[in-house]
Structure 1
């Protein structure tokens, strides 16, 4: 396979993930069609994001500027997905663009940071419930804005976060399996008595683990989350990303060994929704059905045509997930 063919294959694999971030699908194709190698991915996506920063500077209103900045944040985040990309410049650019956008579009949004986490709390003051969104292996708080919007529309407050080894913190910290400790500090910092928790991809493991061990988690959902990982069977690209995010091959192997929810699933007392895509088949990854079966209040939703993170099937699960959390936290569907 030529370098250009590999770049095209990689771009196709990221297609539904990119559209979920909110970038224009036609522009995504224009940008990726020009790639001659995956080495071009990061600089091409950075240039596209920077063009939106320039548009924001010349915008005719704060709202338009904020919208351009949100788009820039999406392109900068996608820049971090290139194979062998190191955490750093693109993640920082995404973080800065998101912060500038929310300052313009939602003056009430609040940056909340603490040991091992940072993120944005959005939604009405005094909201009847608060949901924390946990990203995965190479995702970040900039990726799941459509999920944030669905929860905000139902009257909830939402804290989209980066944890250790994630997003803007990936350059200075490493992934850790005991994510429940991070979630506990988040709940303390938010000053709420209970939270809903959503974890996406590897974040599904983090969320389920936290729900088993942190009693203030009152509702939980996972999307494409692993029940168990088998290091020896994981594809090389996944092991490479995990090694970069954990600090090396040995650390990644040890991290993967901890990703096993068999003992913790029966301890999840909160209502749990597990969402999987039927087309999401990754060697070495046991998907979420056993988690839903072992949790006392687990429900399983499998979307047959869904891919990883189900970016190609949002209407089939996203409203249902948002309603699940709303009902569990405040007892009513919006």
Structure 2
């Protein structure tokens, strides 16, 4: 039996999965009315990937028509929406992992086409254990001198990818900060060929190496923001990658307790790690107790007061243990705070921009 079968086969999980992912879909940029239309006919979680992929392909077809007619902005926007839908199509620990890999590839390809039309200066950056997009802020007024622009690396989480956090990237770009949004090991387009890497500072380090000599960037002003499990990854990088100047964790775990994790989490980790025992060993590594005192750079810990996942100790503990940490707690925020974007995202983008000024 496939690792993910028990969760996907449980018919009782469907309503809760649709409901809990609604704010996440909003945060990822999906239209919620369309989300409701896509999910309303579902009778099984097995049908989730195909339903969301169909929505993605509708956007991709619309983009192709617009591009053929020379409507560049419309085409680029539709490709970007297609990338979002393809990404959300792959959230489940679905037993058809080949199909999941195809969805990740479709999301990646749609984002490539979107950036080619909307941001021709965007560059593909990839290396050992990572692949992503480097996007630069639009110039306002006179061109800034080379080396002036700081960079933030955006790190996704357990079942996420670089196509999900458009709102984070756009907020940083609007504040004059370049963005490198990546998939790392076990994430996004790399999920089919690699397992999650608990020592994520190595991934961030290789990404920083890759952009060190890109024109218009300041390698002395770099930071990282990680979301969900990416918050743990960002914290490990903050403790061990000396080139980082600041870090942010959003809904990141402080510690995982395998015995109490919900099936969605354990089965997703089992698929991505290569089996239940590998997943259990990975979860045991997710513990910031020893690392917290070593995070001496400025750290912002963003948490939602409604973020409660069994088996996950939230990173509010990290805010009290890291020497230069601040806590931004939004009482009504859920996991990833898709229910409270105005209450954390502008403040967080301002915080990062000011630390890199």
TM-score past 0.5 threshold: yes
- Match for 1:178 among 194, 199, 202? 199
CA contact (8 A) 1:84 1:240 kept: no
Q: Which residue of 2 aligns with 1:119?
A: 132
Offset at 1:257? 0.7
Q: Which residue of 1 aligns with 2:6?
A: none
In 2, the alpha carbon distance for the partners of 1:166 and 1:261 equals: 21
Asked if 1:22 is matched to 2:29, the reply is yes
Instruction: Give matches, 1:198-217, under 5 Å.
Output: 198-217=225-244
1:107-158, CA deviations, whole angstroms, 9 ceiling, x for partnerless residues?
Answer: 0000000000000000147452100000000010000000000000000000
Asked if 1:169 is matched to 2:190, the reply is yes
In 2, the alpha carbon distance for the partners of 1:232 and 1:132 equals: 32
CA contact (8 A) 1:132 1:158 kept: yes
Instruction: Give matches, 1:147-166, under 5 Å.
Output: 147-166=168-187
In 2, the alpha carbon distance for the partners of 1:160 and 1:126 equals: 19
Distance 1:5 1:285, change over 3 A: closer
Asked if 1:313 is matched to 2:334, the reply is no
Asked if 1:139 is matched to 2:160, the reply is yes
Offset at 1:194? 3.9
1:28-56, CA deviations, whole angstroms, 9 ceiling, x for partnerless residues?
Answer: 11110011111111011111111111101
Instruction: Give matches, 1:148-297, under 5 Å.
Output: 148-191=169-212, 192-297=219-324
Deviates most, 24-33 or 8-17: 8-17
Asked if 1:94 is matched to 2:107, the reply is yes
Q: Which runs of 5+ in 1 are unaligned?
A: none
Q: Normalization by structure 2: what TM-score? A: 0.90
Offset at 1:291? 0.6
Distance 1:27 1:5, change over 3 A: farther
**Superposition RMSD on alpha carbons, in Å?**
1.4
1:213-257, CA deviations, whole angstroms, 9 ceiling, x for partnerless residues?
Answer: 011110100000001111111112110001111111111111011
In 1, the alpha carbon distance for the partners of 2:346 and 2:293 equals: 26
Offset at 1:5? 5.9
| Equivalences, count | 329
SS in 2 for 1:129: strand
CA contact (8 A) 1:119 1:141 kept: yes
In 1, the alpha carbon distance for the partners of 2:121 and 2:65 equals: 24
In 1, the alpha carbon distance for the partners of 2:185 and 2:13 equals: 31
CA contact (8 A) 1:8 1:35 kept: no
CA contact (8 A) 2:150 2:177 kept: yes
In 1, the alpha carbon distance for the partners of 2:221 and 2:322 equals: 19
CA contact (8 A) 2:128 2:206 kept: yes
Q: Which runs of 5+ in 2 are unaligned?
A: 1-8, 138-145, 213-218
